[in-house]
Amino acid sequence: MLTQERYKSILDILQERNAATVTELARLIGTSESTVRRDLIALDKDGKLRKVYGGATAINRTEGALEYEVSVRETLMSAEKELIAEYAAGLINNDDFIYIDAGTTTARLIDHIGNTKATFVTNGVIHAQKLMSKGLNAYMIGGKIKPVNASVVGADGIKNLMKFNFTKSFIGTNGIDITAGFTTPDSEEAMMKEKAIEKSFAVFVPADHSKFRKVYPVTFAELKKCCIITDKLPFGGFSDKTIIREVTK
């Protein structure tokens, strides 16, 4: 195996597992431990990983404040989002008072809601339209509209949220990290999410596996405050921090 191929294999393993020993890496790649040690030193110098005693850990990917339009995000991890959304919709009972946060996965959740007497509140413009078209009992939070994802944010939105008490909420996220928790690029959006979580008895974050180990500028909740619904849980101790449901076909 060429040097660059080994480098890529090492980084791929760490991205999946978050940490690995020299012995594990040598076995998985099919090379000697001495070669792995040299590779780790080189990758550490390049800032690609963090070398520790006996192995290495991944460097969490830090994202900027850039946020893609809804039309772009809808095409990403489409099959995974569909699977997660279907499972999440199955958690809704007739007597629930539900908050549905703006987001592409939470929007798909609405597609899977059947006949129910549950009541819904949302800050998503697209979500409100979907709820209305299905004839569900729904309320739209009023306030400042954020164009990039058609969501209501800001002081008025938070004020309107404060009067509600939800049995369950479904919150969208951009990143999930052991240390940083649940993160998003926008501070106003983060405040809406934080308030909704505060006003909810049970909180679910439907998020595909690509959201893990990504950190955006603003944290809106610690991992322990929300249950995660995902298609594939990466290694790295996430299940030690909160309840996680892996949904498979």
pLDDT digits (tens, 9 = 90+) for 45-83: 888 888 989 999 887 666 665 565 655 555 667 899 999
User: Are 176 and 219 in contact, with CB atoms under 8 Å apart?
Assistant: no
Q: How far is CA 43 from CA 48, 52, 204, in A?
A: 5, 12, 37
**Which neighbouring-strand residues pair with 246?**
230
* CATH numbers and ranges of domains, the chain: 3-59 (1.10.10.10), 70-246 (3.40.50.1360)
User: Are 173 and 208 in contact, with CB atoms under 8 Å apart?
Assistant: no
pTM score over 0.75: yes
Cα separation, 174 vs 162, in Å, equals: 24
User: Are 158 and 195 in contact, with CB atoms under 8 Å apart?
Assistant: yes
76-116 per-position pLDDT tens digit: 678 999 999 999 999 999 999 999 999 999 999 999 999 99
Under DSSP, the state recorded for 234 is P
Rounding to the nearest 10 degrees, give the CA dihedral for residues 243, 245, 246, 249. Answer: 180
Under DSSP, the state recorded for 103 is S
